[in-house]
Structure 1
């Protein structure tokens, strides 16, 4: 059975370190602690006094002074790893943690998970081809030497970089190294770690290279594992659940995130707020639990993006520079049917095609699989359709040989509506109001990735009001936009009332509109 040696790098909160060590070793695992040499010596003595008698806890004898982005973080990790290998010969895996990490699964679950998958878990993406680095310097991390800390000596750091660039002091990356990059939070098998330690002693050129790279904790282990372990034995992912905001800052978890964390397909989470005392207590108890059941739905990242996006509904409706002089055509008429229930709009559009004889296209800006003619490639992806929407619509008018065209749109596509209403053509909007049952909202949450098949009912119940409010907000924003020629039919209105609005929207006789709505199954 798997036995995990945890590597804990920390520099503060001695009480939290002591509590974390006791929680993780209570289930039979072990821990090697590296306490930053820059940190308080009194804090370090408190930790040693509390844990020195525990045979499942080891300490790095010569801790290093750590700095963000420096080689010192890799050095501290290597020393803690060596201490773990020496102290715990029965450990089968080495798991990298920080003081902000906490287990979100039981030890029993974690051991079974690692027993079932004989692999190393470490993000390992191509340094030059992937988009893992979002901001800041990229290849400069590697091809120039970095001796200063960017955070403590920002001006000198970039002055040194500029001087090396001016003097042409680029260096070669070791020829046999395929540089990889990824998260520093990994879980490796014992034999892999032993190979890494051996390589650090055999390849001095590799060590010299990484000692002067910038942020080597994101490349050192990732690169070495890629060279030492067959590709099929590497899972390019972390087992620690972490998310980053739009500003590159790690998302912090609080008391009300307990159920969300447990449903993620990870063993640990980072980072837990120090003020979330209830969450600390519940997660601390969880690790030693027996026969705990976990329903994995893994929708955490999707929920975060959805909820944070609710507060960022800025105006993005300015004319695009490539469309400033373009138009659908002054004599053309675009009729937009906006509805959150796609099947309702598609049903109505199908009847418009057959009964009213108008050309119509389903959700071409929302659904990749919407049937479209070959328009030279512009129709192939949603991104292309949206980016070149006016050109796409002009081509559709020409392909159908018409000046009147009906299309469907999701109610969330407000920026598209604004753009088409700003055109010189005649644009009409028909909004379809529907009733939304909890079953529909649950299905909608699963379709857009906010929930999975295993999401528990309690979590889904908490999410549904937010989704319902989001749909209502979309309708309010459409009405607040004040579009001209904007009509609305409703599931709760009479057929006659809806027919009058539909007739005006399509510019057809009311009798024809009644035929389109007859049967009573439009909203089924």
Structure 2
């Protein structure tokens, strides 16, 4: 009969870890615990003391300080696996878990399932051919060496990546290895785990390669299993039920998800909310129960997608409240200042706010640091703002309690301009046409990463015409689009010439418009 050795990676909540270990070993299974080396020693001592009398519990011989996306997660897993293999010779399967996972089937069901399916359960898709990676870098994870953590040292991470690109320091993947990718939550048979441990002792070159890849916990075991085990003995799926929201975050399960979880064709679920005390209690009693029949419907993902698309009552499967309405509204007026020189548009915007009292926002789709009110998280990143642009603008209209709103936009944002003009609201645009000196273009090239402080004059001389043409192309695209209610003012025009365009754009009188057109140092660099 199958006997499972659970490999538990955890870093917090010692009391919950003790309970999880006690639940999972009550039916004769085992658990090997790795408690993050960054966590307090006293918390680790509490766990060891509470479980000291349980012969089915062991601990990794050495605690590793873990960091998301780093090799340290793989190293911690290997240490726990090695301890489990040594301590539990009767274990037939090794199952990866986190502290947020809980069983959604009985031990009786899990043992029978593994006995009937003599396979390794691990997601392993071709790294280059599959579309498993949805966002971020892809092949760069492998062909460059990563010494910094992207979450902790974003600047150094991308500086290192850029320097390796510039210097041509890419590397070859080990010739006999076809890299795979997939979820880190796997269940492997004992012979497979023993082959992996033997392989890493013999092939230090492969270990060295993965030590400096990015997010190796999604590639290391996935690649080695596919390399060591015949394809017909691998089930390319995880036995842990988990879902992700449209924002790439794991779906959290609450008290009202008990029946749904039990109906899924999985043995465990992730993530259980810390607040779901009733769910935790019910699932905690479930694992040791006997004689329970499960009606597998496996509708979890499709049901979540359906309900998230309709909204909800309470806390179950809900979509964000800002996604309910897709239009800004027929009675609202959106005023867009378009200018490549951001400081020029900001100066004019500040004067417009002073003269007209129309609420105004700077380059919210171009500058992450643009001051914005707290709108529940939708405003937190440029990616979210752009993705939910209409919802964001609707919330800003409501926040400022206005039917007229003005904001600045870079002329490169053509898709956003077209989208706003397709809305039922009234959209107006004022393009501010500026002169671009060579000095300004060189500064622009450095700001966007086209040139550095040490870029030679010869390179800059070749670069300037291309940049100037790109800026002209952006302006031409806007004019060729023939947007209605489009107006343009010029740096070289007199204030008396620009004033009528501003007046029409803002629907204000000539005197106010002339005051705005005469803004001191408006076009100064």
Give the TM-score taking structure 2 as reference length. 0.60
CA distance in 2, matches of 1:313, 1:136: 28
C-alpha deviations, 1:443-468, integer Å up to 9, x for none? xxxxxxxxxxxxxxxxxxxxxxxxxx
CA distance in 2, matches of 1:56, 1:184: 24
CA distance in 1, matches of 2:310, 2:145: 43
Alignment correspondent of 2:218: 218
CA distance in 2, matches of 1:274, 1:183: 22
CA distance in 2, matches of 1:10, 1:40: 12
Alignment correspondent of 1:281: 281
Alignment correspondent of 1:100: 100
Alignment correspondent of 2:133: 133
Alignment correspondent of 2:110: 110
> For residues 316 and 181 of structure 1, do their structure 2 counterparts lie closer, same or farther at Cα, with a shift above 3 Å needed?
farther
1:229 aligned to 2:229? yes
CA distance in 1, matches of 2:59, 2:204: 26
CA distance in 1, matches of 2:325, 2:183: 32
Runs of 4+ in structure 1 over 6 Å off:
none
1:16 aligned to 2:11? no
Alignment correspondent of 1:190: 190
Alignment correspondent of 1:158: 158
Alignment correspondent of 2:55: 55
Alignment correspondent of 1:478: none
> For residues 316 and 165 of structure 1, do their structure 2 counterparts lie closer, same or farther at Cα, with a shift above 3 Å needed?
farther
> For residues 179 and 316 of structure 1, do their structure 2 counterparts lie closer, same or farther at Cα, with a shift above 3 Å needed?
farther
CA distance in 1, matches of 2:78, 2:327: 48
CA distance in 1, matches of 2:87, 2:325: 56
Q: CA deviation at 1:52?
A: 1.2
Alignment correspondent of 2:255: 255
1:266 aligned to 2:270? no
> For residues 217 and 15 of structure 1, do their structure 2 counterparts lie closer, same or farther at Cα, with a shift above 3 Å needed?
same
- Counterparts in 2 of 1:351-390, with a 5 A limit? none
CA distance in 2, matches of 1:130, 1:247: 20
Alignment correspondent of 1:66: 66
Match of 1:63, SS state, is coil
Alignment correspondent of 2:82: 82
Q: CA deviation at 1:42?
A: 0.9
- Counterparts in 2 of 1:294-309, with a 5 A limit? 294-309=294-309
C-alpha deviations, 1:7-46, integer Å up to 9, x for none? 0000000010000000000010000000001001111011
1:240 aligned to 2:253? no
C-alpha deviations, 1:289-339, integer Å up to 9, x for none? 00111000000001111111124455489xxxxxxxxxxxxxxxxxxxxxx
1:171 aligned to 2:171? yes
Match of 2:297, SS state, is coil
Match of 1:67, SS state, is coil
Q: CA deviation at 1:232?
A: 0.3
Q: CA deviation at 1:61?
A: 1.8
C-alpha deviations, 1:365-385, integer Å up to 9, x for none? xxxxxxxxxxxxxxxxxxxxx
Alignment correspondent of 2:145: 145
Match of 2:95, SS state, is strand
> For residues 131 and 314 of structure 1, do their structure 2 counterparts lie closer, same or farther at Cα, with a shift above 3 Å needed?
farther
Gaps of 5+ in 1: 318-418, 420-524
CA distance in 1, matches of 2:117, 2:265: 14
C-alpha deviations, 1:175-196, integer Å up to 9, x for none? 1110000000000000000000
Gaps of 5+ in 2: 312-322, 329-421, 423-525
Match of 2:128, SS state, is coil
Match of 2:46, SS state, is helix
Match of 2:58, SS state, is strand
Give the TM-score taking structure 1 as reference length. 0.60
CA distance in 2, matches of 1:41, 1:246: 37
Alignment correspondent of 1:521: none
Match of 1:12, SS state, is coil
Q: CA deviation at 1:69?
A: 0.2
Match of 1:9, SS state, is strand
CA distance in 2, matches of 1:37, 1:277: 28
Alignment correspondent of 1:27: 27
Query: CA RMSD, aligned part only?
Result: 1.4
- Counterparts in 2 of 1:298-447, with a 5 A limit? 298-311=298-311, 312=323, 314-315=325-326
CA distance in 2, matches of 1:61, 1:138: 34
C-alpha deviations, 1:480-499, integer Å up to 9, x for none? xxxxxxxxxxxxxxxxxxxx
Alignment correspondent of 2:199: 199
CA distance in 1, matches of 2:155, 2:309: 35
CA distance in 2, matches of 1:30, 1:226: 26
C-alpha deviations, 1:44-69, integer Å up to 9, x for none? 01101100111000011211000000
Alignment correspondent of 2:402: none
